[in-house]
Structure 1
């Protein structure tokens, strides 16, 4: 496997895509959970899920159970959702207004801050002191109404991850948008296939005829930053779908997408369900502008159409990657710089998993 990583990063005008093995060999998903997902900031909730003290969200990050809890002082804390007794779940679902956290297995009770408060029938345990037992904390941050956690201490600095996004999209204020709805799709392809597809407009004229009429392909461009890329296009001929302005398609490494148009943001989380299967979660956020709300039905129908087109092509690409006939094709320097950027970040992570023999 290490020979696949032996090649150094190529400049964009010489770049090739990842080898098919990274999409087909189950061993890479284990490396990705440890080196990619656990060592990055992961989107886990929106602030509406955690509006008041005791509100909590139970989720998985990099295959690990995680619990996020709103504190009485309005701060957030995140923990592994694992009781310190015998690893039972402290919460089995999201909840509102809890006064304490109760393990569902044996009833051990923790404060909202993760300090053990009581442990039933443990009086006979020698040297057992509830004050010495605390849930290990995980880093958690709020940004523009979204909540993120990072499992590893060496995850990139949060502020660096999102630097410049708010300023770039002005006058749009995504913090003022309100959660509307969620849909998800489970797709039989590797999670990276879906992201590769998102990261380039090269396929727009061929896969998305409707979207190509709305976006100006000649002006469509891609900007690369340290931890994210931006695809941008003016909006045109949209027949009341998006409104006037610009479309901003942000990808934040390794699996977060922020699709922003005037009055609306759509967040996507790309979650591996296996080495050849993934889940795409779409959360829709809208402004309070009545004109925007009048477009919601048309906009979501249009989004569903685009999504089905993406699903169909991603399934076909996965079959191609599994055919045994494909290795690593050349990238288009003009249109696939976002793919090159993402795959180079992955190459760095893979080298951490399996050091290359020099």
Structure 2
């Protein structure tokens, strides 16, 4: 192995327990998906006022909508009254966001417009019951990112995690104004989200599992030639920084973008439980490409994604079996995987250290009660926490006896 890879020689994979334990998945929700900037869409999908799209990320529901002023906003998909979802379709158009439970309605910028029969309720302030806003960022290429951190200022800045990802020299020859939103499609997978993310970040498996990808690796091209902050640039050669050819980039924790002259698509591996995920794809076609060109390329990439799903499902089945613990990483061709899981481990350990200081679990995405109901809400929450932490309810098995 080359000398600069020496530090990762014979490094082991993560233990199988990291891919199947429900409690560990909840830690990932707190430590990673509550605090990271997550790539979810592109502004081309929101091309007119009222256009919206619905998302869920590791159990956190939200939607994106363009308002009349041209702003693209993200909100939790939760009515502030009794938590019913605001939007129910994956995509749509609406100028008023109405809850179909009790009729509360909101404007496209999240303001509460109507709360039936609350007009004369003492201490009710409409300003305190706006939709929960989600932090968002649009990068220089028009990609739309969210951060679910409930704090006024996210724990991590976008620049800290992804500064430079939108100014890669190899992307300069792509004119993003030439693309338009086409469609979204998805597949359900029986695997932990990391299983597929690790698969994506190496092509050690490609000669065996993806024979159709062989032409991409002719000459001196490498699977990964840029490990930067929280992203990895794939499929390049050192002398082809401005090639304008197929250019995939992985963005931590669970997304990637593959830019081609014919279309680009965004992949999100959305965790739905400790052992299941949704493979979600947004497709944007070049305005100059013919339907036949788009179909040919999309069929090819869809076949590759289906092959990866089969691989991830098979690996996860054995990770669930409690017969395998760890294996070895190749220090060269699996370098990016080692880099990515290093980011995972770092965020998890940092979060656990913070929870130890606080003496309690820390859920950064959790919104607190408004001032008028804060005292009673906190008392009720403390009662629930006390019951669950001092009984077998915490583990879900039959209780041997409550603390009292």
Alpha-carbon deviation of 1:114? Answer: 2.1
* Pair 1:93-2:89 in alignment: yes
Alpha-carbon deviation of 1:200? Answer: 0.5
Aligned to 1:83: 79
Aligned to 1:17: 13
- The structure carrying a bigger helix percent of its residues is 2
Assess, with a 3 A threshold, how the Cα gap between structure 1 residues 180 and 274 changes in structure 2: closer, same or farther.
Answer: same
Quote the Cα distance in structure 2 between the aligned partners of 1:132 and 1:38: 22
Count matched residues: 338
> Secondary structure of the residue that 1:91 maps to in structure 2?
coil
| 1:229-284 CA distance string (max 9 Å, x none) | 111147xxxxxxxxx96332211000001122333212101011221111111222
Assess, with a 3 A threshold, how the Cα gap between structure 1 residues 261 and 131 changes in structure 2: closer, same or farther.
Answer: closer
Alpha-carbon deviation of 1:344? Answer: 0.5
Q: 2:322 aligns with which of 316, 320, 324?
A: 324
Aligned to 2:206: 204
Quote the Cα distance in structure 1 between the aligned partners of 2:71 and 2:315: 44
**8 Å Cα contact 2:264/2:284 also seen in 1:** yes
Aligned to 1:109: 105
| 1:92-145 CA distance string (max 9 Å, x none) | 335655333222211122232222222212244224343453333221122334
Bigger mean CA deviation after superposition, 340-349 or 305-314: 305-314
Aligned to 2:227: 224
Quote the Cα distance in structure 2 between the aligned partners of 1:181 and 1:123: 42
Alpha-carbon deviation of 1:353? Answer: 4.2
Q: 2:27 aligns with which of 27, 31, 47?
A: 31
Quote the Cα distance in structure 1 between the aligned partners of 2:81 and 2:244: 55
Quote the Cα distance in structure 2 between the aligned partners of 1:323 and 1:87: 37
Please report the TM-score for the alignment, with normalisation by the length of structure 2.
0.76
**8 Å Cα contact 2:265/2:282 also seen in 1:** yes
Runs of 5+ unmatched residues, structure 2: 1-5, 238-242, 357-404
| 1:37-62 CA distance string (max 9 Å, x none) | 12112233332442222323332233
Alpha-carbon deviation of 1:321? Answer: 2.2
Quote the Cα distance in structure 1 between the aligned partners of 2:196 and 2:343: 16
> Secondary structure of the residue that 2:9 maps to in structure 1?
helix
Runs of 5+ unmatched residues, structure 1: 1-9, 235-243
Alpha-carbon deviation of 1:30? Answer: 0.9
Assess, with a 3 A threshold, how the Cα gap between structure 1 residues 155 and 216 changes in structure 2: closer, same or farther.
Answer: farther
Alpha-carbon deviation of 1:70? Answer: 1.5
Aligned to 1:154: 154
Quote the Cα distance in structure 2 between the aligned partners of 1:104 and 1:249: 41
Quote the Cα distance in structure 2 between the aligned partners of 1:175 and 1:158: 23
Aligned to 1:163: 164
Alpha-carbon deviation of 1:315? Answer: 2.1
Q: 1:346 aligns with which of 341, 344, 347?
A: 344
**8 Å Cα contact 2:178/2:288 also seen in 1:** no
> Secondary structure of the residue that 2:298 maps to in structure 1?
helix
Q: Which runs of 4+ in 1 moved over 6 A?
A: none
Alpha-carbon deviation of 1:306? Answer: 1.6
Aligned to 2:397: none
Quote the Cα distance in structure 1 between the aligned partners of 2:125 and 2:341: 49
> Secondary structure of the residue that 2:235 maps to in structure 1?
strand
**8 Å Cα contact 1:232/1:249 also seen in 2:** yes
